[in-house]
């Protein structure tokens, strides 16, 4: 009894972030939002100071040209955000978290693209109207006679290709490795388009201050990408000297990889976080894959667990002991310091169970105060069964496996054998005193969306729902 009371006390004392931690999170969020708004206001100020409002109200070709300036400025600003958001800059990681950054990256990318196309159309039509020539001739003259426009045209074609391939319907028909490699060409597209903006853009050259601003922000974006995506990961990998020590089959189509290294506690990894992993086992090593740590991080050991679904995960099962590993991270906010309640409801599908297990190993809670719901197509497909059994035996975790074909009647996140239940009803059954729970989700995006829909029906506050999405 005394042990249970002690464990419960620890759960209550550490379930909620301290006041200082909350204030730090709020400060980071304010700084991140302020940075976005500040640069946005600079964009508007540049357009207004260049007579944008007056010219637009005057009408005619000049108004189209003015609007082309505005769409070009906003598109460039969004493109800047897109690069910075995926540069793993600590400011944005702390301010928004990986899940929000991923959504923002996709949203800003599409908006930047459509505004970019609007900029092209408006500038060609506006210039043609002013010069009194047809739009085809004007487009030709812009491409051949203006500095940097040939490069910008090539960059535009690359960006168009990347956007087309980023549409979800197109992505589903491609291997992840192929899509990820082609997606990187967006950096080349940005690099080819940038000289045109900095050499000939009126609002980029309107004043020494404007020129300084644009050169500075793009230099910062390039520097952040090199520092946080290249230099720091290489330095951390060299210092940690991580190598594969064991590869174990896990379930009917899963694999667990155990790695050791030097003083891995210096990485400050938290349970539930993930790394971008590159295994130096031959051709294709440069393609990084995000995998969450699947057991509580130790000073000398990190473990990942994955389902074998493509070339990248198939390579995990073929790794040899001694293979060197490069890492980026740790990243992610699917961590225990987000807790606000004393109880835990963990819902994972497939390999999404892995970070939830690591959290259950790390976090304090009373026996019976944590419920783990796992979703697999068959019982044999379940991963980390050994770790889950240990949690049930040693920590009093309640495990609810939901195996079998997906329901066609009820919520799609539950199996056919439970389709007599409404999804919200099942959640309420699993966690009757739902107000005391923090809910952690990890699995395929569509599956998590289905769970979230039922949580919304139960009016669970967003601050109590924690999830991580890797899809862009």
What is the per-residue pLDDT across 332-356, written as a single tens digit (0 to 9) for each? 888 888 788 899 999 999 999 999 9
What does the pLDDT read at residue 4? 34
Residue 375 pLDDT more than 60? yes
**CATH number for the segment(s) 238-331:** 2.40.30.10
> How do beta strands 243-249 and 437-442 pair?
unpaired
The tokens of 99 are what? Answer: 């899940």
| 3-state class percentages of the chain: helix first, strand second, coil last, to nearest 5 | 60, 15, 25
In the chain, the N- to C-terminal Cα span, in Å, equals 48
SS3 category, 286? coil
What does the pLDDT read at residue 449? 92
* pLDDT tens digits, 89-144: 887 777 777 777 777 777 887 888 888 888 888 888 888 888 888 888 888 877 77
Please state the pTM of the whole predicted model.
0.77
The H-or-E segment that residue 387 falls in is: helix 385-395
Longest CA–CA span in the chain (Å) reads: 89
Residue 472 pLDDT more than 60? no
What does the pLDDT read at residue 148? 66
Which of 369, 374, 231, 366 lies closest to 307 in space, CA to CA?
A: 374
What residue ranges in 164-284 does DSSP mark as E strands? 243-249, 254-260, 274-279
* pLDDT tens digits, 205-251: 667 777 787 888 888 888 988 999 899 999 999 999 999 999 999 98
* pLDDT tens digits, 155-192: 777 777 777 766 666 666 666 656 666 666 666 766 67
CA distances from 32 to 35, 45, 96, 104, 226 (A): 5, 20, 8, 13, 20
Percent of the chain at pLDDT > 90 equals: 35
Q: What is the mean pLDDT of residues 7-19?
A: 39
Among the residue ranges 170-174, 288-292, 402-406, the one predicted with the least confidence is 170-174
**CATH number for the segment(s) 339-467:** 3.40.50.80
What does the domain layout of the chain look like in residue ranges? 20-230, 238-331, 339-467
């Amino acid at each position: 009894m005394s042990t249970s009371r002690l464990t419960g006390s620890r759960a209550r004392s550490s379930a909620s972030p301290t006041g200082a931690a909350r204030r730090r999170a709020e400060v980071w969020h304010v700084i991140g939002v302020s940075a976005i708004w500040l640069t946005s206001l600079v964009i508007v100020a540049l357009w207004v100071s260049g007579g944008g409002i007056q010219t637009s109200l005057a009408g005619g070709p000049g108004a189209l040209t003015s609007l082309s300036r505005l769409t070009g400025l906003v598109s460039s600003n969004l493109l800047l955000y897109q690069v910075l958001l995926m540069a793993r800059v600590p400011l944005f990681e702390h301010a928004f978290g990986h899940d929000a950054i991923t959504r923002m990256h996709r949203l800003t990318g599409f908006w930047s693209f459509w505004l970019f196309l609007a900029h092209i159309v408006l500038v060609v039509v506006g210039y043609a109207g002013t010069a009194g020539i047809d739009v085809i001739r004007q487009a030709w003259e812009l491409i051949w006679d203006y500095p940097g426009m040939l490069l910008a045209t090539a960059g535009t074609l690359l960006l168009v290709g990347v956007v087309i391939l980023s549409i979800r319907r197109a992505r589903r028909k491609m291997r992840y490795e192929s899509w990820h490699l082609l997606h990187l060409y967006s950096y080349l597209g940005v690099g080819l388009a940038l000289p045109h903006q900095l050499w000939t853009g009126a609002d980029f050259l309107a004043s020494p201050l404007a020129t300084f601003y644009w050169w500075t922000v793009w230099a910062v974006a390039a520097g952040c990408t090199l520092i946080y995506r290249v230099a720091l990961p290489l330095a951390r990998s060299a210092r940690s000297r991580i190598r594969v020590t064991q590869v174990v089959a896990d379930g009917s189509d899963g694999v667990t990889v155990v790695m050791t290294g030097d003083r891995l506690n210096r990485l400050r990894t938290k349970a539930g976080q993930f790394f971008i992993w590159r295994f130096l086992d031959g051709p294709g090593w440069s393609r990084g894959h995000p995998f969450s740590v699947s057991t509580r991080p130790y000073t000398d050991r990190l473990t990942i667990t994955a389902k074998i679904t493509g070339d990248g995960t198939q390579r995990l099962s073929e790794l040899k002991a001694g293979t060197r590993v490069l890492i980026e991270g740790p990243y992610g906010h699917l961590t225990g310091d987000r807790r606000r309640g004393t109880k835990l409801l963990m819902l994972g599908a497939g390999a999404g169970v892995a970070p939830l297990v690591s959290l259950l190993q790390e976090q304090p809670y009373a026996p019976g105060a944590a419920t783990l719901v796992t979703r697999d197509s068959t019982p044999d497909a379940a991963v980390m069964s050994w770790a889950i059994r240990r949690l049930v035996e040693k920590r009093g975790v309640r495990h609810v496996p939901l195996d079998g074909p997906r329901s066609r009647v009820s919520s799609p996140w539950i199996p056919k054998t439970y389709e007599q239940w409404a999804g919200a009803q099942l959640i309420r059954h699993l966690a009757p005193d739902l107000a005391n729970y923090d809910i952690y989700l990890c699995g395929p995006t569509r599956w998590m969306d289905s769970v979230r829909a039922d949580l919304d029906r139960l009016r669970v506050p967003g601050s109590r729902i924690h999830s991580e999405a890797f899809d862009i």
